[in-house]
Structure 1
Amino acid sequence: MLGIPLGRFRAYWLGSVVCMAGFLFGYDSGMWTDNFAGGVLTFSSFENDYRYDASTKTRTESLAVGLQQLGAFIACFLAWPVTDRLGRNKTLMLSSFVFCIGAVIQTINTHSLTAFYFARVVAGLGLGSATVVVPMYNSEMMPKELRGQVGSFFQWFFTFGIFASYWIDYGVARGIPDNSPSQWQIPIGLQLVPAGLLGLGMLTLPESTRWLTKKGRHEEAWLSLQWIRADTSDATAAEMDEIRAGVLDEARATEGFHIKELLERDNFRRVFTAFAVFTAQQATGATAFAYFGPQYFELLVGGDADLSLLLTGIFGAVKVVSCGVFVIWFSERLSRRQVLVGGAVVMGLCQITTAGIVAATPSPDTSSSGVSGSGIGTVALIYLFVVVYNFSWGPLPWPYVSEIFPTRIREPGVAAGVASQWLFNFIFSVATPYMIRNLGWGTFLLWGVFDLIIAVVSFVYLEETKGLSLEAITQDRSIGSRRGLRKRTDAA
């Protein structure tokens, strides 16, 4: 195991398998439009095969992206009853299978936009349900010392997916003739690789210990915990007892779950927190940069298209490296709450400063050679912004939201949070081109203001969860009981 203890190795393996959903999410997000290769939907081969022209291009691109996000949003509300009934493992297999059906239909040259749109919705159902199950499965299986790190794998794999999509699009755009359908079929068909790795990889993993306990399958739960910890010591037995006690306490509290329980005071606070955290993740402006990087950099350096595309490619590499540094070295050393608050402050200052520089300094025109000092400064600020994002609001919402719910409402609670992620992903991806066109430098100012608002709300409202077991986090029955959580954090 190269010096890695078996239990840690198995935790990393589990996180890597399930977070292929994050790679898939990133790959699909970066593949279609506005990366530095142009994107599949801008390939003339795709336009010719699906018979649309400049007059319908914007609508086609909007529907292609938006319908998958719609399918993913709907899947968030279908996933939690399915995963409650089938378990985390089987639900992720099913999600992979559904996504593969959509990907296969997209890859076939049907010449029908209707069939293509249908396939996008189907793929969205598979991808959306996976994004709900992955964080809860991760949180339920990880030891508290690794929960933040392995939970952050999702965002790291997401950045790898975007980066891979950029270069695959670049390769087929430059290496395959524009009249060949394989130019667009190859990048679309390659989605089947991470989707297949997710589905087949689940065969190597046990079911969630906490889900099995919730269903009364205690022997299987004990075997699952032994496998992931690679240990049968008294410490593991004590952890099993704690899990059973926590699950049984939740079951006794209110037998026969009903959806209206989510409106009870303590539960509603948790659901609202999950919804707000993922809304904030999208409102930082980072998702908009992922979709529309070239347009943003054009605002900063002028109309030099090649330079804007180069800066976008570097932007993708910065995301991968910065998120990797955070996951490997800092994810379990830093306070969740402090990082989220501080990250939002720094991102806000970067965006507002960028807005001020762009407003005060006219962008160079296409005839200008090189980049001005102000252009270099703003690009550096945006790179700093994405580094900070991948140290804070990029990776941390995934483990944080999965940590704050008791077993009884974890499925619907996480589903509500992830649904907000897909909802505002859709809203901001549709709105951003209009913001860039109509607001110009004001777009950076708006994101900066959002970031500072997020910082203030996070400082007032968010609680610390680092270093606590899931049972300890929910012990007070109120995510708003700051005193109780902080006492236990200090004790830990």
Structure 2
Amino acid sequence: MTEINEAAVEKPVAAVNAIEEEKPKFQWRVVDNHSPPEIYNWRLYLCIAVFGLLGSLRGVDEGNTASTSLPSFRAKFGLDDPNKSEGAISNLTSNIKSMVQLGSILGALISTFSVDKLGRVKSLQLACVLMVVAAVIQMTSKNIGQLYAGRFLEGALSVGLTVAIGPPYMSEVTPKAIRGMAGCVFAGAVYFGIMISYFAVYGCVTTISDDSNLQWITPLCVKIIVPGVILVGSFFAIESPRWLIKTGKNEEALKALARLRNLSESHPFIIGEITDITESVHQELEAKKYNSFLGLFTKLVRVKSLRYRFFALGCMVQILGQWSGANSITIYAADLFAFSGIKGNDQLKMTAILGVVKFVAAYLGAFFVIDFIGRRKTMYLGLAFQGLSILYFALFLVIVPEAANEDTILVGSKFRASQGAMAALYLGGVGWVIGFNSLQYLIGSEIFPLNIRTFAQSLIMVLHFANQYGNSKAVAKMLIALKPYGTFFLFVAVNVISLAWAWFFIPELSGRSLESMEEMFNLPWYQIGRNGPKLCPDHSEINKMDYSKGTLRYLDEKPSEEFYEDGVKVERRFSEEKEDDDE
């Protein structure tokens, strides 16, 4: 533990003199002048790794949906039945692929209470164990009903809970300077899971006989291995100090925070941060009447600042994100590569490469984009990549429709256009993981007060899985009714709308403490997205500390004199020091 020398702590100085002003310049590393360097330590990164890898549970399943292309799977569950119509087979395929999303709707509802009741670490452990149980049910499936049951339970008891465990934990334990990166570790892990499942499926189709059930059962082993690794790592994780304070375990919270920050319990930084957290929690716990499900939901609807956060940000990011086309590319990747002219087992190979591209892009975005250029610019960048790529693919489907025919061999400019279409699917995936995929997990875990954070995030994830379920069911029918090109032109329109929404509604949250959000969201709704951070700077206790010169200095920065509870100004938080007090 690091003890601080009183001689190293300078007297408060004027904010304008505390840090020499420099022209802003871009740096490929996060600069945190308000925190001691010890807080970035192996314990913190271990916790980020364990809870971040939790996101891969969902990805493992999404990648495994490529198994519906395996000959043994199709024969086992009737996808090659000549007596079934094209519509019936499409409906059966979409049912299989979407059953986890359907179960996850229930799982997200369950998580509104279970995650706060059990804590972040125990909830993670439970989700991992239940994932293994659901995988075993699927591996032993004798008929389509048992397969449905296993996949539904996987969503309801595991995948649906992960999104209410990982992102909130990340936001609660990580320093504000790297909170975006930590949130993106979870989002990126989704594509780690997709990648390894894609390769497992591709490996099995090329090495195991088509008439062996092991061809489709073997890839399911990933659903046992990955949660097993996370479960072992969870025994070394540290519980969220914010959750411990919320449940009245103040001494445990102080010890947990000191361990996470690698500082002594008496260090000024620990005292400042625990003060911010405790004050915020105590204010929120005063609203005892909102403890019921109906009361919490009523609060989301009636309180102005929460209403904006829930509907304009949390809900819209899920609706627009799920219908922007990227989720369809992930789930129906093999079919879409067929539309671009890829034949046979090469469809699965290209799908596996798509998993690699998304995985690499997700972590490049996490480590080198989200906390460097901010949330808003990251969204602009991601939407531009995604929208233009999908537009190219849609135009290709109009100009070269024959590429989807099994017996067509493309040559000349049409062949080069087909290569461009394949690249467009990859680039669209890059845009998605940098933009929407990062924001859909991160924003809900950042913007809500602690007393309603898990509840609000869970409801947002209910909407997430409901849209994903509807999307995975609808796209199979849209590709028939609207034709492939019409479906993708619809996705282009959603991307354009999303760009306008991001410009107007999303405030820049990079570098803000969780306890500094309330004042900003009490501004008039039309000012929050465009001017919120400028009008309401971060006045948390740790933001008054300066470590830029290697020693602790306090900034004599006058903070806001009032704080808000449920949109109402209720009392002075800081007393004003007047010069005539000593006269």
Normalised by the length of structure 2, the TM-score is 0.77
Residue 116 in 1 paired to residue 172 in 2?
Answer: no
Secondary structure in 1 matching 2:55: helix
Q: Closer, same or farther in 2 for the Cα pair 1:101/1:369, shift >3 Å?
A: same
Deviation string 1:430-481 (CA, Å, 9 cap, x unpaired) is 1222223332222221111100101111211111111000001224453845
Map 1:31-110; keep pairs closer than 5 Å: 31-33=64-66, 39=67, 41-47=68-74, 54=81, 55=84, 57-108=89-140, 110=141
- Asked if the contact 2:376–2:507 (Cα under 8 Å) also holds between the matched residues in 1, the reply is yes
Alpha-carbon deviation of 1:42?
3.9
Question: 1:32 corresponds to which letter in structure 2?
Answer: T
Q: Closer, same or farther in 2 for the Cα pair 1:120/1:346, shift >3 Å?
A: closer
Secondary structure in 1 matching 2:409: coil
Aligned partner of 2:301 among 229, 251, 263: 263
Q: Closer, same or farther in 2 for the Cα pair 1:298/1:104, shift >3 Å?
A: closer
Residue 349 in 1 paired to residue 388 in 2?
Answer: yes
- Asked if the contact 2:521–2:532 (Cα under 8 Å) also holds between the matched residues in 1, the reply is no
Q: Which residue of 2 aligns with 1:443?
A: 487
Question: 2:301 corresponds to which letter in structure 1?
Answer: L
Map 1:129-278; keep pairs closer than 5 Å: 129-232=161-264, 233-253=267-287, 255-257=289-291, 258-259=295-296, 260-264=298-302, 265-272=304-311, 273-278=313-318
Aligned partner of 1:281 among 321, 327, 348: 321
Alpha-carbon deviation of 1:209?
0.8
- Asked if the contact 1:269–1:478 (Cα under 8 Å) also holds between the matched residues in 2, the reply is no
Q: Closer, same or farther in 2 for the Cα pair 1:8/1:278, shift >3 Å?
A: farther
Deviation string 1:372-393 (CA, Å, 9 cap, x unpaired) is 2322333333333222222211
- Select between 191-200 and 376-385 the one with higher mean Cα deviation: 376-385
Alpha-carbon deviation of 1:83?
1.5
Secondary structure in 1 matching 2:181: helix
Q: Closer, same or farther in 2 for the Cα pair 1:226/1:303, shift >3 Å?
A: closer
More helix by share: 1
- Asked if the contact 2:184–2:363 (Cα under 8 Å) also holds between the matched residues in 1, the reply is no
Deviation string 1:69-114 (CA, Å, 9 cap, x unpaired) is 1111111111121112221111122222222221121122x41332
Alpha-carbon deviation of 1:238?
0.7
- Select between 431-440 and 165-174 the one with higher mean Cα deviation: 431-440
Decide which structure has the larger Cα Rg and report it.
2
Secondary structure in 2 matching 1:190: helix
Q: Closer, same or farther in 2 for the Cα pair 1:46/1:306, shift >3 Å?
A: closer
Q: State the distance in 2 between where 1:309 and 1:186 align.
A: 16
Residue 485 in 1 paired to residue 526 in 2?
Answer: no
Alpha-carbon deviation of 1:255?
5.0
* CA RMSD between the two structures: 2.5
- Asked if the contact 1:464–1:486 (Cα under 8 Å) also holds between the matched residues in 2, the reply is no
- Select between 264-273 and 78-87 the one with higher mean Cα deviation: 264-273
Q: Closer, same or farther in 2 for the Cα pair 1:382/1:182, shift >3 Å?
A: closer
Alpha-carbon deviation of 1:53?
5.3
Q: Which residue of 2 aligns with 1:377?
A: 420
Q: Closer, same or farther in 2 for the Cα pair 1:379/1:172, shift >3 Å?
A: closer
Question: 1:423 corresponds to which letter in structure 2?
Answer: A
Q: Closer, same or farther in 2 for the Cα pair 1:242/1:28, shift >3 Å?
A: same
Q: Closer, same or farther in 2 for the Cα pair 1:415/1:61, shift >3 Å?
A: same
Residue 7 in 1 paired to residue 40 in 2?
Answer: yes
Q: State the distance in 2 between where 1:477 and 1:118 align.
A: 43
Q: Which residue of 2 aligns with 1:36?
A: none
Identity %: 26
Alpha-carbon deviation of 1:144?
0.5
Alpha-carbon deviation of 1:285?
0.9
Q: State the distance in 1 between where 2:512 and 2:231 align.
A: 31
Q: Which residue of 2 aligns with 1:27?
A: 60
- Asked if the contact 1:21–1:127 (Cα under 8 Å) also holds between the matched residues in 2, the reply is no
- Asked if the contact 2:329–2:425 (Cα under 8 Å) also holds between the matched residues in 1, the reply is no
Q: Which residue of 2 aligns with 1:407?
A: 450
Secondary structure in 2 matching 1:134: helix
Q: State the distance in 2 between where 1:351 and 1:252 align.
A: 49
Alpha-carbon deviation of 1:48?
5.3
Q: Which residue of 1 aligns with 2:409?
A: 368
Q: State the distance in 1 between where 2:79 and 2:381 align.
A: 46
Aligned partner of 1:297 among 319, 334, 337: 337
Q: State the distance in 1 between where 2:427 and 2:145 align.
A: 42
Q: State the distance in 2 between where 1:91 and 1:309 align.
A: 34
Secondary structure in 2 matching 1:396: helix
Q: State the distance in 1 between where 2:233 and 2:212 align.
A: 33
Q: State the distance in 2 between where 1:344 and 1:26 align.
A: 21
- Asked if the contact 1:96–1:195 (Cα under 8 Å) also holds between the matched residues in 2, the reply is yes
- Asked if the contact 1:270–1:413 (Cα under 8 Å) also holds between the matched residues in 2, the reply is no
Alpha-carbon deviation of 1:68?
1.6
Deviation string 1:98-148 (CA, Å, 9 cap, x unpaired) is 22221121122x413323222212111111011221111111111101110
Secondary structure in 1 matching 2:459: helix
- Asked if the contact 1:28–1:165 (Cα under 8 Å) also holds between the matched residues in 2, the reply is yes
- Asked if the contact 1:139–1:147 (Cα under 8 Å) also holds between the matched residues in 2, the reply is yes
- Select between 118-127 and 135-144 the one with higher mean Cα deviation: 118-127
What runs of 5+ residues in structure 2 fail to find an aligned partner?
A: 1-36, 544-583
- Select between 435-444 and 425-434 the one with higher mean Cα deviation: 435-444
Alpha-carbon deviation of 1:20?
2.5
- Asked if the contact 1:100–1:195 (Cα under 8 Å) also holds between the matched residues in 2, the reply is yes
Q: State the distance in 2 between where 1:80 and 1:49 align.
A: 37
Q: State the distance in 2 between where 1:89 and 1:209 align.
A: 12
Q: Closer, same or farther in 2 for the Cα pair 1:464/1:101, shift >3 Å?
A: same
- Asked if the contact 1:20–1:197 (Cα under 8 Å) also holds between the matched residues in 2, the reply is no
- Asked if the contact 1:337–1:459 (Cα under 8 Å) also holds between the matched residues in 2, the reply is yes
Q: Closer, same or farther in 2 for the Cα pair 1:24/1:267, shift >3 Å?
A: same
Alpha-carbon deviation of 1:400?
1.7
- Asked if the contact 1:11–1:228 (Cα under 8 Å) also holds between the matched residues in 2, the reply is yes
Secondary structure in 1 matching 2:212: coil
Question: 1:447 corresponds to which letter in structure 2?
Answer: F
Alpha-carbon deviation of 1:254?
5.5
Aligned residues, how many? 481
Alpha-carbon deviation of 1:279?
2.1
- Asked if the contact 1:103–1:123 (Cα under 8 Å) also holds between the matched residues in 2, the reply is yes
Q: State the distance in 2 between where 1:52 and 1:322 align.
A: 34
